Structure 1
Amino acid sequence: MAVKTIDDTENYTIEWDEEIGAIVFTWDKYVSGATFREGCEALLDAIKRRDAAKVLTDTRGINAHDAEDQQWMQTEWMPRALDVGLEYSAVVHPDSVISEMDVESILEGMEHSGAEPLVTSDMAEAREWTAEK
């Protein structure tokens, strides 16, 4: 598996996974506010630089985002990500109903843009889905 690290910080890791043809973004710990947004902006920059249409986000290391971050992600970040070519977004969340609802809330509206999201607690399922897109 050819994986190239794009950015590795104490809060997140961004990699290009050639096997699935996607950026893999992993939250390594819970962050919020400006720190959360910095990570999201780094992901957006990686999407632009790689001209990537697919992102797999691994949030298994955190349980939820705060309401302000969710709102910002939905209204500010997601439209910009779609504008630079994001078409498919798989999000792997911890195996809990609250985490699943959190992720679904953030991705709400993505399907109306013509882009396609997947929300799952199974990394293998997310990798397979992403590779097929």
Structure 2
Amino acid sequence: MVWRQLLEQALVQLEQHNWHKLLGDQRSLPLFSTENQAWILLDWFPRAVRSGLRYGAIISPQNVMVRLEIAALIREVNTYPLTYRLFADEAAAANWLIQQP
């Protein structure tokens, strides 16, 4: 899957550049399958934390059902030593990320 490859590459970049922040534009994101939800929560996020990720900003999906799904994922993700927030637009998301240490 392309989005998994993209997230894997994000981990590589986090590690190589010692980055701690990530901005995700998820306006066109479809619903996740149960398998993909499990992968992102149980596999990708723990590795992202080990790679140095501390802050994530997500541009809110346009689809209401996907937005609800992402909000639920964020609640679970915030149990990790991460802070993820959902934003209506890119400017607000980027501004928030810039303010984070």
The share of aligned pairs that are identical, in percent, is 24
**2:99 counterpart of 1:129:** no
Q: Distance in 1 between matches of 2:87 and 2:94?
A: 11
Aligned positions, number: 100
Secondary structure class of the residue paired with 2:79:
helix
TM value normalised by structure 2 = 0.84
Q: Is the Cα–Cα contact under 8 Å of residues 73 and 106 in structure 1 kept in the other structure?
A: no
**Highest RCO, 1 vs 2 (Cα 8 Å, sep ≥ 6):** 2
- Letter of the 1:101 counterpart: L
Q: Deviations over 1:43-88 (max 9, x none)?
A: 1111111111000010113233222111100110000001111000
How is 1:1-133 mapped onto 2 (pairs within 5 angstroms)? 34-133=1-100
Paired with 2:84 and 2:10, the residues of 1 have a C-alpha distance of 16
How far 1:35 sits from its partner (Å)? 3.0
Gaps of 5+ in 2: none
Q: CA RMSD in A?
A: 1.7
Q: Which has the higher helix share?
A: 2
In structure 1, the residue corresponding to 2:35 is in which secondary structure? helix
More strand by share: 1
Shifted more, 71-80 versus 114-123: the winner is 114-123
- Partner Cα separation in structure 2 for residue 73 and residue 107 of structure 1: 11
- What is the TM-score of this pair, normalised by structure 1? 0.66
